[in-house]
Amino acid sequence: MLPCILEHATPLGHHEDAATFNLGFGFLYYGLVRSLRPRHVLVIGSGFGFSVVCMALGLRDNAAGSLIFVDPSFSVFRHGPFQTVGGQAHWDDPQKVRLHFARFGVEHVVAHGKMTSADLFARYEHLGLPPIDPAFIDGNHAYEHVAHDFMETAARSRRRVDPGALATRYQLVVSRRLAISINHACDPTLSGPGLSV
CB 43 within 8 A of CB 149: no
How buried is residue 160: exposed, middle or buried, by Cβ count under 10 Å (0-12/13-18/19+)? exposed
**Quick one: pLDDT at residue 168?**
30
CB contact set of 39 (below 8 Å; sequence gap of 6+): 64, 65, 66, 130, 131, 133, 158
The H-or-E segment that residue 173 falls in is strand 171-173
Q: How far is CA 153 from CA 40, 98, 117, 190, in A?
A: 12, 25, 10, 21
**Quick one: pLDDT at residue 11?**
85
Q: How far is CA 194 from CA 52, 113, 159, 188, in A?
A: 27, 30, 25, 8
**Quick one: pLDDT at residue 158?**
83
The H-or-E segment that residue 154 falls in is helix 143-155
**Quick one: pLDDT at residue 12?**
80
Strand partners, 181: 171
Strand partners, 196: 179
Q: For residue 71, how many other CB atoms are within 10 A of its CB?
A: 26
The H-or-E segment that residue 31 falls in is helix 25-36
**Quick one: pLDDT at residue 173?**
41
pLDDT beneath 70, residues of the chain: 76-89, 160-197
CB 6 within 8 A of CB 99: no
The CATH number assigned to the domain holding 117 equals 3.40.50
**Quick one: pLDDT at residue 77?**
63
**Quick one: pLDDT at residue 13?**
82
Q: Give me the number of domains the chain comprises.
A: 1
Q: Domain range holding 130?
A: 2-196
**Quick one: pLDDT at residue 82?**
59
Q: For residue 63, how many other CB atoms are within 10 A of its CB?
A: 7
- Separation CA 80–CA 176 (nearest Å): 23
